[in-house]
Structure 1
Amino acid sequence: MAKGFGSDPVTALQGDNDVYLDQLMRFLERINTGDYRAANGADAAIGTHVRHVLEHYETLLREADLPINYDRRTRDLAVEQCPQTAIASLQAVRAQLHDLADMASEQTLTVACSCATDGSERPTVVTSTLGRELMFLQSHTVHHLALIAVLARQRGMSVPTDFGVAPATLQYRASTAPPEGSCAR
């Protein structure tokens, strides 16, 4: 759980999501447009991953009263091409995320997804909760930040060691770290 956030699940999950969105904000504030747009081989550009992450948050925020369908997200190519546009979008998402405090973590939501592998367009519809969707968004964001870190390092950029690292991995690393001052043999 993020430091300084309450024990209410929605508040805690908002804070936990915001930790990763803040990592992304700090990263975007120092990237140049060329590195942001550059595709490395077959991989998507950093900007593509940023757009994808932000659109998932925007979908939840926009469709919380409707069946949420992350496949129907609005693809804003300006966010993908311009880090400054992405920063503005990220600031809006972070502000709106804090507005969810009035919703209960157990509030029932309906989520639809194109999961069919048989070529049909039938959506799979399930019941979820706000808490579960915030957990999904955090996990999804961590996954894409990890990909962004790989792409950035391939371009010679410095990325913090905890950028895009899941909480469980950070906890594991902390539990297996040698005590300070000890020597490895």
Structure 2
Amino acid sequence: MLAQLNSEVLGELSDFLAQLKSEDFADLSPVLKTSSIGQHVRHVLELYECLISQYESGFVCYDDRKRDKSLETEVNIAMAKIRVLQANLLLEDKEIVLKMAVGEDFEMIRSSYNRELCYNLEHCIHHQALIKIACNQLDYITLPDSFGVAKSTIDYVKSLESSIN
């Protein structure tokens, strides 16, 4: 179920990218000022990639990312990466040690694959919300209401609507 939710959110991201003009993907956003939509997409995809590629070792360090420039400048490469990630999300839950840089040292934090999937899901949704703001000026983009909104918020709004009716 958790892998499926992640796959769906990544699918929303891919559907969005399919609409986006290359220059709106790669150029600095006038709304975001210091970053591009592509940089946000790359960041999200590379965290998923870290989790999946480092899964076997049992240690995950999100600081050890490739920072592949093509993921932020080439829409088709980002969409291809999404498909690869979606195909590899369904892994057995197991204990994972999260290695996190803290100043010049590292913290080792006990976690699990499913916990890190939760983190990546929320992280992706958070960046989708930022991307949604950047798209306010792009009148050719159509986004679903769920884009950039946490699943718990969607469920809460639905419960309010059903209590009114």
TM-score by length of 1: 0.81
Deviation at 1:93, TM superposition (A): 0.8
Q: Find the aligned partners of 1:169 and 1:60 in 2 and give their Cα distance.
A: 26
Question: Of the candidates 69, 83, 95, which is equivalent to residue 77 of structure 1?
Answer: 69
Corresponding position of 1:49: 40
Aligned partner of 2:128: which letter? L
Provide the alpha-carbon RMSD of the alignment: 1.7
**Contact 1:80/1:86 (8 A) holds in 2:** yes
TM-score (norm 2): 0.90
Gaps of 5+ in 2: none
State which of 79, 86, 110 in structure 1 corresponds to 2:97.
Answer: 110
* Residue of structure 2 in register with 1:15 after alignment: 4
Deviations 1:72-116 (A, max 9, x none): 111110010010111111111111113x1xx2x2x11111112x3
SS of the residue 2:109 aligns to: strand
Looking at CA atoms only, which structure, 1 or 2, has the larger radius of gyration?
1
User: Which residue of 25, 39, 44 corresponds with 2:28?
Assistant: 39
Residue 78 of structure 2 is matched in structure 1 by: 86
- Asked whether the equivalents of residues 29 and 37 of structure 2 are also in contact (C-alpha less than 8 Å), the reply is no
Other structure's SS at 2:105 match: coil
1:178 CA displacement: 6.5
Q: Could you say what secondary structure the match of 1:112 adopts?
A: strand
The amino acid of 1:110's aligned partner reads: V
SS of match in other structure, 2:7: helix
Identity of aligned residues (%): 31
- Which residue does 2:159 correspond to in 1? 175
Instruction: Note the residue ranges of structure 1 that are not aligned, 5 or more in a row.
Output: 1-11
**Which residue identity is paired with 2:110?**
T
* Structure 2 residue aligned with 1:96: 88
